[in-house]
């Protein structure tokens, strides 16, 4: 299994890196350009015109490699379903915004309905075609259990509503995190490597899919690292959220998401706090700007520094999660 992970990382990296040579010129010809918000950091205005929908670059590498391994390892199929399903929702949003030139993209209710449909398909497939239950490991419980293994819980009637909340929260948290060059790609590369390590430790056979995503993202970062030549768009960010949450559900680690993907959670929470505080105080702001990465930017941090700090936080929390699993 370890060798298959190494092969999946290398193969997905090569495919992703080569795909960028084709996808990037195509996006330029399509005029699929990003328009930066005028109320955002002033340093971002120069990014207007940068191609978006670049998520296709790493999704090609991920899909080819993970599909190959899914032939003999059906546990990978739910991860593919979630990744490509949410990626398709993101693509529709991107296409409407940047190709059809309708600035709002999908309406909020349309996006939620489509996300719920993908969520339903994911949970139905897991329940119907895999042996994975919806039990969830409790963080830190292994440290106190007699046999040294994690304690698992099931919320009964509330399990499905809880998982729906976790799925939508993770997917949209990933979307909010995608605001700086290389930020979401770098953070999720670390999470993908954690998924590889955790799945090997638990004996859940999705490690090749984690390796495929890690390799594909590294290939994508060749184009997305600061200064970015292309952005992943909602096509990529929603797909990454789907990849992470489906992998964690397959490993029965849904509750661990708040630790492993703390950056996603913090970005979402900062946005919620900003909106509620703004309404409660009649126009005052709790953060300089939300989501959280913009708060640090306006505090004088460079994009690269924000990315490095967020990645280091993720590395620490992933190591902690692996240790307490």
What's the rounded Cα separation, in Å, for the pair 49 and 52? 9
Find all residues with CB under 8 Å of 323, minimum gap 6, and list them: none
Q: Which position has the token pair 């963080």?
A: 139
Q: Per the domain annotation, does 234 fall within a domain?
A: yes
Which range marks the domain in which residue 121 is found?
2-132+148-254
Determine contact, residues 150/140, Cβ cutoff 8 Å: no
Structural domain includes residue 317: no
Q: Check if the beta carbon of residue 52 is closer than 8 Å to that of residue 233.
A: yes
- Give pLDDT tens digits along the chain (325 positions): 778 999 999 999 999 999 999 999 999 888 777 665 555 665 666 677 799 999 999 999 999 999 999 999 999 999 999 999 999 999 999 999 887 777 678 999 999 999 999 999 999 999 999 999 999 999 999 988 888 889 999 999 999 999 999 999 999 999 999 999 999 999 999 999 999 999 999 999 999 999 999 999 999 999 999 999 999 999 999 999 999 999 999 999 999 999 999 999 999 999 999 999 999 999 999 999 999 999 999 999 999 999 999 999 999 999 999 999 9
pLDDT at 101: 72
| Number of domains the chain is built from | 1
pLDDT of residue 99: 75
Asked if residue 79 lies in contact with residue 239, where contact means CB atoms within 8 angstroms, the answer is no
Residue 283 domain-assigned (yes or no): no
In a domain, 218, yes or no: yes
Please report the pLDDT score of residue 37 as a whole number: 55
Element housing 136 (H / E): strand 136-137
Q: Is residue 310 part of a domain?
A: no
Asked whether residue 197 is domain-assigned, the answer is yes
End-to-end CA distance of the chain: 20
What is the pLDDT, as a whole number, of residue 132? 95
The residue among 86, 303, 276 whose CA lies nearest residue 183 is 303
Instruction: Tell me if residue 152 falls in helix, strand or coil.
Output: strand
Give the pair of three-digit tokens for residue 203: 């004996």
Q: Specify the DSSP class assigned to residue 178.
A: T
Residue 91's φ and ψ, nearest 5 degrees, are -60, -45
Task: Give the pLDDT of residue 237.
Answer: 98
Q: Does a structural domain hold residue 278?
A: no
Q: Is 279 a domain residue?
A: no
Distance from C-alpha of 151 to C-alpha of 148, rounded to nearest angstrom: 9
């Amino acid at each position: 299994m370890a060798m298959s992970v190494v092969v999946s990382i290398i193969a997905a990296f090569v495919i992703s890196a080569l795909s960028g040579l084709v996808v990037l010129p195509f996006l330029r010809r399509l005029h699929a350009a990003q328009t930066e918000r005028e109320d955002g950091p002033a340093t971002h205005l120069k990014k207007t015109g940068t191609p978006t929908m670049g998520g296709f670059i790493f999704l090609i590498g991920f899909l080819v490699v993970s599909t190959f391994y899914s032939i003999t390892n059906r546990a990978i199929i739910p991860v593919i379903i979630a990744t490509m399903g949410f990626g398709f929702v993101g693509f529709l949003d991107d296409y409407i915004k940047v190709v059809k030139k309708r600035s709002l993209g999908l309406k909020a209710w349309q996006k939620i309905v489509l996300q719920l449909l993908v969520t339903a398909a994911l949970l139905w497939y897991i329940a119907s075609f895999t042996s994975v239950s919806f039990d969830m490991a409790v963080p830190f419980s292994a440290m106190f259990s007699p046999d040294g293994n994690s304690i698992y819980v099931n919320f009964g009637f509330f399990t499905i509503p809880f998982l729906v909340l976790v799925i939508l929260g993770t997917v949209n948290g990933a979307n909010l995190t995608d605001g700086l060059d290389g930020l979401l790609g770098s953070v999720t590369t670390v999470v993908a490597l954690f998924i590889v390590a955790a799945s090997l430790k638990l004996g859940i056979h999705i490690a090749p899919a984690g390796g495929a995503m890690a390799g594909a993202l590294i290939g994508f970062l060749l184009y997305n690292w600061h200064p970015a030549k292309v952005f992943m768009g909602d096509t990529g960010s929603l797909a990454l959220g789907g990849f992470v949450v489906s992998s964690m559900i397959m490993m029965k680690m849904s509750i661990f998401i708040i630790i492993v993907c703390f950056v996603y959670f913090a970005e979402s929470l900062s946005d919620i706090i900003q909106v509620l505080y703004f309404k409660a105080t009649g126009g005052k702001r709790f953060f300089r700007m939300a989501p959280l990465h913009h708060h640090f930017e306006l505090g004088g941090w460079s994009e690269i520094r924000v990315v490095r700090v967020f990645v280091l936080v993720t590395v620490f929390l992933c190591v902690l999660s692996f240790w307490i699993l």
